[in-house]
Amino acid sequence: MLRRYRNWPFVSATLVVINVIVFCLCIFTGEMLYYKGGVERFAILEQQEYGRLIWAMFLHSDTAHLFNNMIILFFLGAMLEKEIGHVWLTIIYFLSGLGGNIVSLARKVMTGSDSLSVGASGAVFGLDGLLLALVIFSQDFRNSVSPGRVVLMIALSLYDGFMGSNIDNAAHVGGLIVGFLAGTVIVLARDIRNKKYRREVQF
């Protein structure tokens, strides 16, 4: 019975619910949560509010921003969660979001920007990076998902971000890179483990 529920997207669904709840709180509290949780250069580096690098992942500027991220998180997250498991998906999601926000912060420092950044886009792009790692390095996964389509999807998503305004593209690129690197490590480690297991079974 436990095996039956193991493939359910618990993590993806839970993350979506949390993001929606936080957005509803933002509606009732006005700008307060944004100013206390967004990625902002002075607050993080001078006031040492490092938690913003995580809290910002659960804040969204408007319903369209929330909807776009949550749709991708739920459907892509559900597919990846079934492939690599609940724990690894959680780890990669948060690593990607954190990495994306760190890259965003670095860009703010280099450009002297005092802008405030929010959103789960870095973490969501991390899932794109994980998907790319799977189609490149996992033969079984590559048989069901076309690498060309994944690359095109990522390219279009990045292009759409760079063509838009008030979009933190540094977070997108940072999250994508972290997700791809972390996904590559997981896929290759899993491949080595499976090969070792097959050799042991043969003996």
Number of Cα atoms under 13 Å in the Cβ half of residue 161: 20
Distance from C-alpha of 51 to C-alpha of 49, rounded to nearest angstrom: 6
For residue 182, the SS3 value is: helix
User: How many Cβ atoms sit within 10 Å of the Cβ of residue 160?
Assistant: 12
Find where tokens 């593209």 sit.
169
Whether 128 contacts 154, CB under 8 Å: yes
CA distances, 201 to each of 166, 187, 190, 195, 196 (Å): 55, 21, 16, 10, 9
Active-site choice (121, 138, 146, 157): 121
Distance from C-alpha of 114 to C-alpha of 107, rounded to nearest angstrom: 11
Find where tokens 């003996």 sit.
203
Catalytic (active site) residue 172: yes
Q: Which of 70, 61, 63 is nearest to 165 (CA)?
A: 61
Catalytic (active site) residue 113: no
Catalytic center residues = 121, 172
